[in-house]
Amino acid sequence: MKFFKMYVGILFLLASHVSFVHAAKKNQSFLDSKNKLERNLAAYTNKVEKAECVEQHDGSYVITFYCEKKPICFYMPKTYNESVDRNKKRYILPRTEWSSDRLNDFMKVSADTLQAVDAHCSIQKIPGVDYSLGILFEVDGSKYEVEKNIDQEYKTVSFTITPK
């Protein structure tokens, strides 16, 4: 019986060690991916060539940004409270520039279009960050849902505001 307990104890220690090594490798893999992303992002730049806001036949609205290169877009709430707020969705297009005139023109057009669903979209250049755009959607989360879609082939980022 004593031998059996010692055998079980050794198996437990071995399993714990294997689990720890696996977790360490998984964490290292995550860190390697993060470092690779940071290196690639430092060399990445993009430009919004045009944008449009269109009402679909099903009552949804699609805001599409056409970029010069394949786009990168992150969901990035400012705070924890914003991350659980169903009414706000904040995204960032890192190292992406857009001329101020075109940005202002688009903001006017999209404000008129989105007024029908009582939604608001604000886009701003992020101060202190080279060429980055911040996009904030404010919608009634109980009635509408905001969904992001990136099409690498056509170099677009689309946001669909869909009734629930």
Alpha-carbon distances of 99 from 50, 94, 103, 137, 146, rounded to whole Å: 10, 15, 6, 20, 25
**Residue 156 and residue 76 in one domain:** yes
Task: Give 11's pLDDT tier (boundaries 50, 70, 90).
Answer: very low
Same structural domain for residues 60 and 29?
Answer: no
Q: What digits encode the pLDDT tens for the residues 32-70?
A: 665 666 666 777 889 999 999 999 999 899 999 999 999
Which of 94, 87, 93 is closest to 51 using CA atoms? 93
Give the per-residue pLDDT at 13.
Answer: 47
- Angstrom distances, CA of residue 116 to CA of 33, 112, 113, 120, 138: 42, 8, 6, 10, 13
Q: Which residue has the higher pLDDT, 161 or 6?
A: 161
Which burial class, exposed, middle or buried, applies to 101 when counting CB atoms under 10 A from its CB (0-12, 13-18, 19+)?
Answer: exposed
Average pLDDT over residues 85-100: 90
The answer on 88 and 20 residing in a single domain is no
- The answer to whether residue 113 scores a pLDDT higher than 50 is yes
Mean pLDDT computed over every residue of the chain: 81
pTM given for the model: 0.73
Whether residue 94 sits in one domain with residue 129: yes
Residues 29, 65 within the same domain:
no
Record the tokens describing residue 81, joined without a space: 């409270």
pLDDT of residue 154: 95
Question: Are 141 and 87 in contact, with CB atoms under 8 Å apart?
Answer: yes
Tell me the C-alpha distance between 143 and 162, whole Å: 8
Domain count, the chain: 2
Q: Are residues 39 and 14 in the same domain?
A: yes
100 with 37, same domain: the answer is: no
Among 10-14, 58-62, 113-117, 123-127, the least confident range: 10-14
Is the same domain home to 58 and 129?
Answer: yes
Q: Which domain holds residue 19?
A: 1-43
Quick one: 148 and 135 in the same domain? Answer: yes
- Cα–Cα dist 57/44, whole Å: 36
Residue 108 CB neighbours (<10 A) = 9
Q: What is the pLDDT of residues 118-142, one digit of tens each?
A: 888 889 888 766 678 999 999 998 8
